[in-house]
Amino acid sequence: MWFKNLQIYRLPAPWAYTPEQLEKALEPGSFVPANSNELLRQGWDAPRPNGGLVHVVNKQMLIMLGTEKKLLPASVINQVAKAKAAEMEEAQGFPPGKKAMKELKERVADELLPRAFTLRSTVWTWIDPVNGWLVVDAASPAKADDVVKLLLKAVDKMPLESLRVQRSPVAVMTGWLEADEAPYGFTIDQDTELRATGESRAAVRYVKHTLEPDDIRRHIAAGKQCTRLAMTWNDRVSFVLTESLAIKGIKPLDVIKEGESATHNDDERFDNDIVLMTGELSKMLADIVEALGGEAKA
């Protein structure tokens, strides 16, 4: 199991909060399935079947936020409400007014909710108390925000901050492309996006395409800057670095897969994957921060 996308936050290193303390803090917000009249329910769920809310491997902690959401499209509500409004008009001789129509839609939504489809989703979070990382496996900041808000509510005075670096990722990535040279330990891959900062917002995207230095420099000279850049770290992990310091599209490469355990026990395989993933990613994150000038101090 590997995280695919990283929204990155910082904790003090080391962070002295124990797994037992975290488990106790999360328990009041444990996940409970939504009842028939609820649109949304969120809560902390066990990362492993029949396990606790905090799964610990080699001092690394994993937690998981579970979400149940009822799928009740507005188009369905409007369709049913429109049919009921037609019945009301036939019975009373005039169509329902604006206020009555609003109330009708609310009643229809309440009637349909128990029969709505339920969508279940989970968001994983890795906490590295040794090196001070908190990483949410989410493609969008909004999903990560859901986790962070509930975590800050659960853990009193949690010293959590967004990762901040000395140099702008956009400026640094643009510089790497312009010089056609990645920082030590990294290589530039074949995906990137260059975007203009002016009113035009003109953009060019390369996907699995050789990045010709002269072409790239022409775009940069025309005022475009790099907002996404595919890279590989130490021939071990490939990823895409974004302008917001999110890391996306993570893929462990063959050199890592060759070292994976061949155990057939699910629990052992899961724990081995976590040890491997957290060990590699903690080093990779440190190298990325260094390549961006180090962490910004408060």
Using the predicted structure, report yes or no on whether residue 72 has a pLDDT greater than 90: no
Bigger pLDDT: 161 vs 115: 161
What pLDDT shows up at residue 261?
57
What pLDDT shows up at residue 263?
64
What pLDDT shows up at residue 79?
81
Question: What average pLDDT does the segment 234-244 reach?
Answer: 96
Bigger pLDDT: 236 vs 35: 236
Q: pLDDT tens across 74-109, in order?
A: 887 788 778 777 777 778 877 878 887 787 777 777
Question: What average pLDDT does the segment 150-163 reach?
Answer: 94
**272 closest CA partner among 252, 288, 246:** 252
Bigger pLDDT: 104 vs 140: 140
Helices (H), the chain: 19-26, 74-92, 98-112, 141-154, 169-179, 213-221, 254-257, 266-291
Q: Residue 67 — pLDDT band, cuts 50, 70, 90?
A: very high
**96 closest CA partner among 82, 114, 77, 108:** 82
Bigger pLDDT: 254 vs 59: 59
The answer to whether the beta carbons of residues 285 and 130 sit under 8 Å apart is: no
Measured CA to CA, the distance from residue 121 to residue 115 in angstroms comes to 19
The answer to whether the beta carbons of residues 183 and 176 sit under 8 Å apart is: yes
What pLDDT shows up at residue 264?
65
Residue identified by tokens 């199991």 is 1
Bigger pLDDT: 292 vs 99: 292
Amino acid found at 9 = Y
Question: What average pLDDT does the segment 14-25 reach?
Answer: 95
Using the predicted structure, report yes or no on whether residue 187 has a pLDDT greater than 90: yes
Amino acid found at 140 = S
| Structure-token pair, residue 166 | 């000395």
Percent of the chain with pLDDT over 70: 95
The answer to whether the beta carbons of residues 241 and 229 sit under 8 Å apart is: yes
